[in-house]
Amino acid sequence: MKKTVLVLTFFLGFLIDSRAQLSNRKPINRAEFIHLMQTVAAGLNENNGRKAADCFTLDAIYSEPPNKQIYRGRDRIFEFFGGWKGRPKVVQMVWHHLTFDEQTQVGSGEFSMTYGSTTHGMVSVKIREGLIGNWREYFYQSALDWNGFILQNPF
């Protein structure tokens, strides 16, 4: 009985300490933002939904406006990213431009993604507690590679 109480006390203390650390996370900087977004892409490219989903808060919202797709919570995002089985096809995601406002903790990036077909798009994110709290994406399917896609307005 004493051993069980000791283990439970330790576990509860660990949970309380972990939650306190999460809620005390300071705002991130530009380098940390880029690393976070690169980790999402790496998780998708490795077919590792857990790695990608762990970049999101527990209550994150992932959407494609206005109502094309919406996933609420890290667990639903994990399932969207393939869950434990992974996605049936290989994903290849590449970031082209990432920008971040440290004061507002809002960032964005242009990307290309191949998953059967190729899409090019943009995502806006809001960082909370050092993780992605909101993800809003817009994209276009195109047979063109990135350079062909931006041909009329490259930078």
Query: pTM of the entire structure?
Result: 0.81
pLDDT recorded at residue 66: 85
First to last CA, the chain: 67
Which residue carries 């919202």 as its tokens? Answer: 61
pLDDT recorded at residue 139: 92
Lowest-confidence segment of 7-11, 72-76, 118-122 by average pLDDT: 7-11
pLDDT digits (tens, 9 = 90+) for 40-77: 999 999 999 999 999 999 999 999 998 889 999 999 99
Q: Average pLDDT for residues 120-138, to the nearest whole number? A: 97
pLDDT recorded at residue 154: 85
Residue 55, Cβ neighbours under 10 Å: how many?
A: 23
CA dihedral (92, 79, 27, 100) positive or negative: positive
Assigned CATH for 28-149: 3.10.450.50
pLDDT digits (tens, 9 = 90+) for 12-48: 454 444 444 445 578 999 999 999 999 999 999 999 9
- Sheet arrangement for strand 56-64: 69-72, 56-64, 131-141, 117-128, 106-115, 92-101
The residue extents of the domains of the chain are 28-149
pLDDT recorded at residue 118: 95
